Amino acid sequence: MKFKLSISLIALAFLLIFACKKKENPGPEEPMGSFDKQAMLVQMADALIIPAYESFKVALDSLISIYDTFKLNPDQNGLQLVKARYQKAYSTYQRCGLFELGPAESALVRSSFNVFPTDTLQIRNNISTGVYDLNLIANLDAKGLPALDYLFYGLSSNEQTIVNAFSTSAERRNYVSQLLNDMSSRINSVLTAWKGSYRNTFINSLGTDIGSSIGLLINQLNFELDYLKNAKIGIPLGKKTLGIVQPAQAEAFYSGKSKEYAIETLTAIESLYLGRGLTGSNGKGFDDYLDHLKVIYGNVTLNAAINQQFALAFSKLNSIPGTISQQVSTNPATVDAAYVELVKLLVLLKTDLPSSLGVVITYQDGDGD
């Protein structure tokens, strides 16, 4: 009897183990049939992610072309053209910066393209010695778009002074070319991978478990919102320094485009949430997924609450007069109002959205929200 009982217990244990084991989390229980997650991923790949990278590549290639002309004969008119195309490239980057998954993660796009504040001392040292390796960790904050921000704007408010610096320094001219080539190489590798096998891998990952496409997107959406809230708004506002403002910590400090790029970043986050393509096409997004699941938040749907909070965050960002770096010193209340609304949006997107979809937030922000 004891032997039979032992066999029965062992058999029961195996049954429980196999019953609990799942290869992939299919997501939450869904009413009235399943939501077409593959259609949502196709929309995100074909209307958001690949077009965002393509758009940035076009802007970057255009910047490289005009800079090559400027480098041969630096003058004030050429510098103005370079600045205009640089600003276009930086603005366009905001729409693809949040897709740090798959090929972009392998190419270290985010850490190679937009680590700010830039290290001006390291940049000057690299230029003066002519000896540097842009692949080294030590140069992550001495390259990318923030480094160009310093090199095109940071020496002086007098454009002729900047032109003279380029005219008299072949090392400076070459350093900018190396920064541009580094970004071009990385973005080309990302696009090649997406247009190759990775797109198929991405659209066929239909679970919500860790490492799934939906899981990665939700994590990246929240990472970018955290980055917007903290690095682009909170740190300049003094949220990490006991209220002592840090205007020089703002994104695009030298060109003064911090507010515009913050709005572009929030637009990219909202587009991912809505499944809204780069051209404005409205496809399946996480909003549709939540509505399909009939998720309620208070006396409204969770989707309605999230959309309302996006609108409030946009309103407060748009209400900041001038640049963020200026306003944290002269009118911090307007910047703080935007920060508060971003915090509220982050709670919805980082807590309520993933829990409703069965997604685990795996990144660490070190923020303590």
Per-residue pLDDT for 250 more than 50?
yes
Burial of residue 240, with CB atoms counted within 10 A of its CB: 0-12 exposed, 13-18 middle, 19 or more buried: middle
Please give the mean pLDDT across all residues of the chain. 92
Per-residue pLDDT for 20 more than 80?
no
Give the DSSP letter of residue 276.
Answer: B
* Tens of pLDDT, residues 164-203: 999 999 999 999 999 999 999 999 999 999 999 999 999 9
* Tens of pLDDT, residues 141-155: 999 999 999 999 999
The closest alpha carbon to 176, from 153, 138, 148, 155, belongs to 148
* Tens of pLDDT, residues 53-104: 999 999 999 999 999 999 999 999 999 999 999 999 999 999 999 999 999 9
Structure confidence at residue 27 (pLDDT): 58
Structure confidence at residue 364 (pLDDT): 74
Per-residue pLDDT for 11 more than 60?
no
* Rounded Cα–Cα distance for residues 360 and 176 (Å): 40
The answer to whether 293 touches 300, Cβ cutoff 8 Å, is: no
* Tens of pLDDT, residues 111-147: 999 999 999 999 999 999 999 999 999 999 999 999 9
The confidence band for 9, taking pLDDT boundaries of 50, 70 and 90, is very low
Three-state SS at 174: helix
| CATH number belonging to domain 32-206 | 1.20.1420.20
Per-residue pLDDT for 18 more than 90?
no
